[in-house]
Amino acid sequence: MPTDHPESTYAVLGLIDKVPDSSGHELAAMADRSLAHFWPISRTLLYRELGRVVALGWAESERVEQTRVPSKSIYRTTSDGRRALADWLTRPVGKHSNFRSDLLLRLFFAHQMEAGQIERMLIDYKHALEVQRAEFDALVHKLSSLSSSQARFGRLSALHGLRTAEARLNWVEEAQQELGGDS
C-alpha cells in the first residue's frame, strides 16, 4: 500500500501542502530558501515531481492566466495526497545518511600528497564550513524570533546544520594540529 516513491516526491508534495496555490516557480523559490540545506531540489527535478504528484492524484493543478507576466499553474494537495504525506511521515526512516565526502576521500589517499597541499585542502574545507556556519547561524536567529510551529522545525533543521558545521570546524583544528606537528 505505501507504494514506493523517491523522497523528493514527498518533499515536493510536502511543499505544495505547506504553501498551497503556489506555482512551480514560487515553490522552487521556497525550496531554495529552506529545503535546499538538507534536501536540494533542482528546478528540473521540481517540475518533474510536480507532474508526478498530479499524475498520482496527490495534487491537482489549476491554470491561472496572467497578463503582465506569463500564466502559471498552481497546485493544491488532494485528500489522497494529504493521506500519502501523513503516511510517509510516520513510515520509519530508511537509511540514515548516504554520506559521501570528496574531502575525506582525498584525505584517505593523502599519504601521496605534500604537506602543503593537504593544508591547502583543509583550509578550503574550513572556509566552506565557515560560510555554512554563518548561513545556519543567521537562519537559526531569524527563525528564533518567529514563533510559529512551522518556524520551530525550520529552526531545528538549521540548528542541526549549525552544530554539524561547528563540530567539523573543530575537527579541522584538530587535523591541522596533528598534521602541523611534523614533516
Partner DNA sequence: AAGCCCATGTAATGAGTTACATGATTCG
Partner DNA sequence: CGAATCATGTAACTCATTACATGGGCTT
| Interaction between residue 44 and DNA (CB under 7 A) | yes
Three-state DSSP string of the chain: CCCCCCHHHHHHHHHHHHCCCEEHHHHHHHHHHCHHHCCCCCHHHHHHHHHHHHHCCCEEEEEECCCCCCCEEEEEECHHHHHHHHHHHHCCCCCCCCCCCHHHHHHHCHHHCCHHHHHHHHHHHHHHHHHHHHHHHHHHHHHHHCCCHHHHHHHHHHHHHHHHHHHHHHHHHHHHHHHHCCC
Shortest distance in whole angstroms from residue 183 CB to DNA? 32
| Interaction between residue 160 and DNA (CB under 7 A) | no
| Interaction between residue 42 and DNA (CB under 7 A) | yes
Nearer to a copy of itself, 67 or 90 (CB): 90
Nearer to a copy of itself, 23 or 35 (CB): 35
Shortest distance in whole angstroms from residue 119 CB to a copy of itself? 12
| Interaction between residue 89 and a copy of itself (CB under 8 A) | yes
Shortest distance in whole angstroms from residue 26 CB to DNA? 6
Q: Which positions lie near a copy of itself, rule CB under 8 A? A: 7, 10-11, 14, 17-18, 34-35, 37-40, 85-86, 88-90, 92-113, 117, 121, 124-125, 128-129, 132, 149-150, 152-154, 156-157, 159-160, 163-164, 166-168, 170-171, 174-175, 178-179
